[in-house]
Amino acid sequence: MSAPLPQTTSDTPIHALVVGAGFAGLYMLHRLRQSGLSAAVVERAPDVGGTWFWNRYPGARCDVESLQYSYSWDEDLQQDWTWTERFATQPEILRYINHVAERFDLRRDITFDTAVTSATYDEAARQWCLTTDAGPELHCRYLITAVGCLSSANLPAIAGIDSYEGTTYRTSLWPHEGVDLTGQRVGLIGTGSSSIQASPELASQAAELVVFQRTPNFSVPARNQPLTEEKIRYWKENYSDLRREARETTRSGAIYDLPVKSAIGTDPAEIRTELEARWEKGGANFAYAYNDLIVTQEANDIAAEFVRDKIRETVKDPATAEALCPKDYPIFAKRICVDSDYYETFNRDNVRLVDLRKMPIDRITPTGLKTSDAAFDFDVLIYATGFDAITGTLTRMNITGAGGRKLAEKWAEGPKAYLGLMTAGFPNLFMITGPGSPSVLSNMIVSIEQHVDFIHDLLVDLREKGQSSVDADPQAEEDWAAHVTEVAHTTLYPRAASWYMGANIPGKPRVFMPYIGVDRYRAKCDAIARAGYSGFHTAP
Ligand code: NA7
């Protein structure tokens, strides 16, 4: 069920318009309703779910454990819902999101199949005017983007891409009815997390799978398994403490076995035992073995070499194993992938890895793909080529702030946003998990809840004080951007050409976009709120 677009005029704007009906948009709507602020959501998809609506490729799973990747804001919800696996599949997460939408009657304020085509700030009226592809203009006092960080897919400009006559799929736009690849010759471009999750599943169906790799990724085994009743009971009984621990005391917004010491100075045999134990346990816990792994190159090298050894042990063909070993960036400086039998997949007779570093793609052909020294024919070509991350959807939305300034122009040299929440010169525009906030370096749901609560509390504060506009102070924004960069450069993150840095999109400025540290970030936001929202300007 889709709600009709809200009836608004410049004289009767809706209080808040939320763009996006994923985890962020749904909670924002619920929170605004709770305080009696009029709100509506527009969503370009035909239903709720955001990233979990679109990314339906075989093997799609969350890499944060399901007991932690769920809302914490309703005690009955978290007691009633029971996850079945350690790492939830995309269908299970989507069922959860649908359950939440039903349970809190959210769809009655969500208009689906409606994309925002522009948003322009009206300085005199202190409100936003939006156009959509569905017809009438929308007027709102506050515009809140809940558009996700990985929601604008990147389709690379490979020569001949339109000439292909077989079937093309993208992992980020997978057909909802599913795809039967039985007996098909499949080419897969990209070796990021999506490809690493999909490859084993694709290989088990297809007659032949050829994986085209430009840059290898580090991946650790998920060791996914059904959740035991005991574990579920423990989490349900202790949710309030565990959620608080994740929010307030962790860098990532998720609970892992946190390190107690540095790798440097620790006996190599002890390190090996510790890394082995974490490898066996599975999941991103591996990244938290020592507290200097993402800080000191020498420590990082130890963990990186451990994983390379695992790849070499697992993959039987030495040349393939060597090609799968990342060697030119620190482990963990790109998001660590969490897989189920990825490396083992390359031992199958029907799977082949093509190292594009050795033979780059020349062009896509009508029947497949040509590299510098070979031609391949496929029935199906799959692009798992990533996203214009964090800023892509925002800069494409054609947002114009005060003085006619375009957001895309303001961010041409890199995004700046105070706390990742507001960008100066764009009053009354809030971004949930925007650039400069922990977002993709965190358990997204923890970060989403914190941003939604902050925005909600600020809007209530404005209402109480009779203020109708709010903007970020330009100097506060500059200082925050400098702080984000400074923190990043105390780590090894900037040493990888990652999508955190915008490095996967040709021409995108290389700026480290997320803020490192959920715990530190929350403490700063709380202090700013307590100080009467310092760094934000308000006006009646
Ligand atoms: P990623 O991690 O950005 O991976 C995209 C992959 O596509 C990566 O291996 C790229 O290689 C590859 N790519 C991109 N363009 C090309 C061209 N032109 N030729 C060959 N290969 C190309 O996206 P995912 O969807 O896998 O994962 C994103 C996040 O989603 C993930 O971290 C989870 O949080 C969920 P490159 O590395 O650029 O050489």
In a domain, 361, yes or no: no
490-532 pLDDT tens trace: 999 999 999 999 999 999 999 999 999 999 999 999 999 999 9
In a domain, 256, yes or no: no
In a domain, 284, yes or no: no
Please choose from 161, 169, 193, 376 the residue to mutate so as to test ligand 1's pocket, defined by most ligand atoms within 8 A of CB.
Answer: 193
CA of 153 to the centre of ligand 1 (A): 10
Tokens of 208: 């032949």
Indicate which atom in ligand 1 lies nearest the CA of residue 356. 20
Are the C-beta atoms of residues 188 and 361 closer than 8 Å to each other?
no
Distance (Å, whole) CA 6 – CA 316? 60
In a domain, 430, yes or no: yes
- pLDDT given for residue 259 in this prediction: 84
Indicate which atom in ligand 1 lies nearest the CA of residue 334. 32
pLDDT > 90? residue 136: no
**Mean per-residue pLDDT, 108-115:** 98
403-427 pLDDT tens trace: 999 999 999 999 999 999 999 999 9
Distance (Å, whole) CA 23 – CA 449? 9
Full domain range(s) for residue 482: 14-152+388-539
In a domain, 514, yes or no: yes
Tokens of 238: 């202790």
pTM of the predicted protein model: 0.97
Are the C-beta atoms of residues 29 and 71 closer than 8 Å to each other?
no
Q: Label residue 135 by pLDDT band (50, 70, 90).
A: confident
- Mean pLDDT computed over every residue of the chain: 97
In a domain, 163, yes or no: no
Distance (Å, whole) CA 26 – CA 141? 19
pLDDT > 90? residue 208: yes
- pLDDT given for residue 76 in this prediction: 98
Residue nearest to atom 4 of ligand 1 (CA): 192
- pLDDT given for residue 408 in this prediction: 98
Q: Which of 148, 145, 187 is nearest to 170 (CA)?
A: 187
Distance (Å, whole) CA 123 – CA 266? 60
CA of 214 to the centre of ligand 1 (A): 9
Distance (Å, whole) CA 48 – CA 108? 12
* Number of structural domains the chain divides into: 1
Q: Label residue 139 by pLDDT band (50, 70, 90).
A: very high
Diameter of the chain measured on Cα atoms: 71
Distance (Å, whole) CA 401 – CA 429? 9
Residue nearest to atom 2 of ligand 1 (CA): 192
Please choose from 385, 442, 508 the residue to mutate so as to test ligand 1's pocket, defined by most ligand atoms within 8 A of CB.
Answer: 385
- pLDDT given for residue 78 in this prediction: 97
Residue 441 sits at the vertex; the CA angle it makes with 385 and 336, to the nearest 5 degrees, is 55
Residue 55: give its domain's CATH number: 3.50.50.60
90-101 pLDDT tens trace: 999 999 999 999
pLDDT > 90? residue 1: no
- pLDDT given for residue 197 in this prediction: 98
Q: Which of 337, 310, 311 is nearest to 322 (CA)?
A: 311
CA of 350 to the centre of ligand 1 (A): 23
Distance (Å, whole) CA 235 – CA 222? 20
Are the C-beta atoms of residues 22 and 447 closer than 8 Å to each other?
no
In a domain, 220, yes or no: no
Distance (Å, whole) CA 302 – CA 304? 5
Residue nearest to atom 25 of ligand 1 (CA): 386
- pLDDT given for residue 268 in this prediction: 97
Distance (Å, whole) CA 396 – CA 408? 8
Are the C-beta atoms of residues 120 and 140 closer than 8 Å to each other?
no
Residue nearest to atom 3 of ligand 1 (CA): 386
